[in-house]
Structure 1
Amino acid sequence: MATNEKYDKNTVPGHDVSSADHSLSDSTTLQLPNSWKYRRFTVLGFKLPWFASPPVQLIIVSFVCFMCPGMFNALNGMGGGGQLDPAANNKANTALYSTFAVVGFFAGTFTNKLGIRTALSFGGVGYSIYVASYLSYNHTQNLGFTTFAGALLGVCAGLLWCAQGAIMMSYPPEESKGRYISWFWMIFNLGAVIGSLIPLGQNIHTTTAASVNDGTYVGFLVLTIIGALLAWTLVDARDVIRADGSKVIVMKHPSWKSEIVGLYQTFFTDPYIILLFPMFLASNWFYAYHFTEINNAYFNTRTRALNGVVYYIMQIVGAYVFGFALDFKGVRRTTRAKAAWAALFALIMIIWGFGYMFQKTYDRAWSEHAKETNTQKDWADAGYAGPFVLYMFYGFSDAAWQTCVYWFMGSLTNNGRKLANFAGFYKGIQSAGGAITWRLDDTKIPFMTMFASNWGLLAGSLLVALPVILWKVEDTVPIEKDVAFTDESVADVAPKAIVPARGEDVKV
């Protein structure tokens, strides 16, 4: 049984009137199932979307990441995981990104089989154990536990980020993907901002170098546990209904064989995705440099905390600016894709150009001496403004990069199965880069060498990806293309062309 509900599309959050919606007029009656998931409430004159709608589901996923990866980012943004000596953090993160890199390639398969809720919640548990290992390290110096927790988190995070990526790229309508990505990135990074405020408040009156105290780790631990539990409030993808009445393209009871074949098949149906792999690699390459070789190496504890706050605030600003620009109406998507590429290239050359000037002012030997003599830079010192602004824009460019990469992938297809695999490739390859850079820092690589590898990889990967931006991004992706498969071995679960009626599921 369904209830009839009339609605004005202009009042549905996250929905924009476009050519894709011309089949529905403002007087259209949308048929929604008679369930609590589709009831709407009015608060202060504003009509909220139903629970099983893309905006609400995205917000839930965003807050899961707010409390789990957000706290992880706040902890690592302090440099050294909040420890004065970054050795434990380097080893934990090397183990983390090593397992993440392996699991990431197959995360789409496991996430599709296990389901979104299970993948997200299991991922949240991994973040809780990771934070708990640093709380333990403060008292026991148990390096084995932190390294194990990092390796376990790599497995858990692979599933969490794959599930998140599949939701963020497949739930929104085509014309709103950039805004959905920006909403997620803003909420997610707000978690890191709040997380960074905790050590800032605890250390605001001290200029001595020190590790963060137990209270910081306990606060992070509580939030990650809440995040893991919050994942269970999500609904199944098959229950999500968009504002225009359409449903998400979801899989229905696939076999393990069909999933593994689908992962393998992606390289043959969409071989161009390989050209985006360098961008994937670059997307985590710079974190060891930002957090350990700038923030931990150059600044004292309270200044590191302040830098972390502004770094993630600028991530929110970057996600907002690029997310909404990527969905700018009146400009073709192909044109927006080219403009986004040009903007990214300009940002990388300008910001990292100033970064080169800053990096010439100190090296690893200076940093080690400054820690021993408690002479790391403080926000009250002369000359702090320049590095402070540079660090802000490192955060801005990070959000711009991540938002554009997700948007580029989401522009290539709307198929949830394929996007889960794309997201898995993305997280796996970027994690391989993270594993390499955290290990490089552990080997005491010169700061300038690490800087050069970052700038070169970022600029070079954009050049490699340019053919995809020019020739593969389309103004819209036809439904026939989204559900067309060529491998006969999955024909029983993946018909070659299925055109669904509006509001129906697509069996893939």
Structure 2
Amino acid sequence: MGFEGDEESLSTQQLPAKSMFRYNSPFVQVSLIGLVCFCCPGMFNALSGMGGGGQVDPTAANNANTALYTTFAVFGVLGGGIYNILGPRLTLVTGCSTYILYAGSFLYYNHKERQEFAIVAGAFLGVGAGLLWAAQGAIMTSYPPIHRKGTYISLFWSIFNMGGVIGGLIPFILNYNRAEAASVNDGTYIGFMAFMSAGTLLSLSILPPSKVVRDDGTRCTNIKYSNVKTEALEILFLFLNWKMLLIVPAALASNFFYTYQFNNVNGVMFNLRTRGFNNVFYWGAQMLGSVGIGYIMDFSFQSRRMRGFVGIGVVALLGTAIWAGGLASQLGYSRGDKPEKLDFKDSGADFAGPFVLYFSYGLLDAMFQSMVYWVIGALANDSEILSRYAGFYKGVQSAGAAAAWQADAHGLSFIGQLILNWGLTTVGIPLLGVLVMLAVNDDNKAEEETTKEAALTPATPAYK
């Protein structure tokens, strides 16, 4: 089954080549995948960001997330190949549906307090998330014009993280008058499930890359199909690809910190309603961070390589400052000596410092991940290749996340988790600089060599 074989033919109407609001334009398609992720992983992020999945005891969430990221590590790597075989619609609708199951498992836990369902749902979500994020990575990095990938990454990241903002408002509003409550109410989980269901349906609106037309009239790719043997070999070759190996430390770091930030900063330092309040700003900060780094990566200098170096340098400096602030805060409490829960209304000035720190963590997350995606997008321009690269990145990222959730479940000290996070980030950033120096060209020559000739075939006509 290929990109063309399982897609319905669309009625056509000739439109001006430069209309960015065409249904088959990169702008509209990247916006649509942003909305899909707004509804599914965006709501998942809001659920996770409450610490412990909104439960007083984080054990079930830790174990569910371990199962999730273990299967995600496998299907993240395989996801690019699956995407190349099934195409975007079937890949995305399969992936999105597993988010509904996961949120439903915590609704069940609210009543039965049995974690088996949550763990199984987490494992299924790992499979689905691997498919969704491989497809998302291919769409976000291959559909846009070569010189505006940073802008489109920030567009996606802003729409996607608006899901976390809205998702943070759900538990905040529904639990506002439950300042002393330990777990969120049923309506919170039902609200998440409603958004996730909408995202699953919306994923059917995504076009295959062969039907997406850039403003200059070129298609993203003209690939008709792939097959299991080809994808299996290409995925194996990724583990020997020096470019991918240089990304490994950054990939490991890029989701490792969520466990610490959600469970041991937001979950430990703040009460239930304040955690929802904080998440509105955590994911809002991600929108700001993605726009800022997107501008640097696309517009700061004429030289693309120089833009890469500057972006990496900015993230390195900001990351050092934020993690240093985190260390200063962490020295004030530990797993055995937890602080009194802070409330955004009642704690006064004591609330300000931890809140700004948590906001800054969100800002850094978006800048770091957008930077990595920009580097990946600069390595090629073809959907088939970039789906594999994105899948590899998400697979390694998820392996790190699985380790992080289990480290917390087994009682690794808070300070130990912070040092691990800071260390992984510090190792990963300079290796990205090496990758930019060796593999990113200003004239796009290397990129074009990896792009199939068919991808440059003029497109006629445009789809409305």
What is the percent sequence identity of the aligned residues? 42
State the shift of 1:278 in Å: 0.5
Contact in 2 for aligned 1:38/1:50 (Cα 8 Å): no
Residue matched to 1:412: 379
State the shift of 1:197 in Å: 0.4
Partner Cα separation in structure 1 for residue 25 and residue 158 of structure 2: 19
Instruction: Decide which of 376, 383, 391 is 2:350's aligned counterpart.
Output: 383
Deviates most, 308-317 or 251-260: 251-260
Amino acid at match of 1:172: P
Partner Cα separation in structure 2 for residue 175 and residue 414 of structure 1: 11
Higher relative contact order (CA 8 A, sep 6+): 2
Q: How does 1:275-314 map to 2 (within 5 A)?
A: 275-314=246-285
Compared with structure 1, are the counterparts of its residues 138 and 345 closer, same or farther at alpha carbon in structure 2 (3 Å cutoff)? same
Amino acid at match of 1:445: L
Partner Cα separation in structure 1 for residue 127 and residue 182 of structure 2: 31
Per-residue displacement from partner, 1:271-290 (whole Å, max 9, x unpaired)?
22201110011000000000
State the shift of 1:388 in Å: 0.7
Counterpart secondary structure, 2:299: coil
Q: How does 1:251-330 map to 2 (within 5 A)?
A: 251-267=223-239, 270-328=241-299, 330=301
Partner Cα separation in structure 1 for residue 440 and residue 409 of structure 2: 40
Counterpart secondary structure, 2:162: helix
Residue matched to 1:475: 442
Residue matched to 2:399: 432
Per-residue displacement from partner, 1:159-196 (whole Å, max 9, x unpaired)?
00000000000000111111110010000000110010
Partner Cα separation in structure 2 for residue 267 and residue 288 of structure 1: 27
Residue matched to 1:338: 309
Counterpart secondary structure, 1:108: helix
Question: TM-score of the superposition, structure 1-length normalised?
Answer: 0.85
Per-residue displacement from partner, 1:92-131 (whole Å, max 9, x unpaired)?
0000000000111111111111110111111111000000
Counterpart secondary structure, 1:120: helix
State the shift of 1:477 in Å: 2.5
State the shift of 1:312 in Å: 0.5
Contact in 2 for aligned 1:196/1:305 (Cα 8 Å): yes
Counterpart secondary structure, 2:336: helix
Per-residue displacement from partner, 1:345-377 (whole Å, max 9, x unpaired)?
10111000111100001111223xx6xxxx412
Q: Is it true that 1:106 corresponds to 2:78 in the alignment?
A: yes
Per-residue displacement from partner, 1:412-468 (whole Å, max 9, x unpaired)?
110211111110111100000110011111111110010110111111111233211
RMSD: 2.1
Unaligned runs of 5+ in 2: 1-8
State the shift of 1:47 in Å: 6.5
Amino acid at match of 1:377: L
Contact in 2 for aligned 1:178/1:324 (Cα 8 Å): yes
Deviates most, 331-340 or 256-265: 256-265
Residue matched to 1:365: 336
Residue matched to 2:199: 227
Counterpart secondary structure, 1:286: helix
Question: Larger Rg: 1 or 2?
Answer: 1
Amino acid at match of 2:343: D
Q: Is it true that 1:146 corresponds to 2:122 in the alignment?
A: no
Residue matched to 2:423: 456
Partner Cα separation in structure 2 for residue 38 and residue 190 of structure 1: 33
State the shift of 1:203 in Å: 2.4
Residue matched to 1:55: 27
Q: Is it true that 1:351 corresponds to 2:322 in the alignment?
A: yes
Unaligned runs of 5+ in 1: 1-33, 485-496
Amino acid at match of 2:370: T
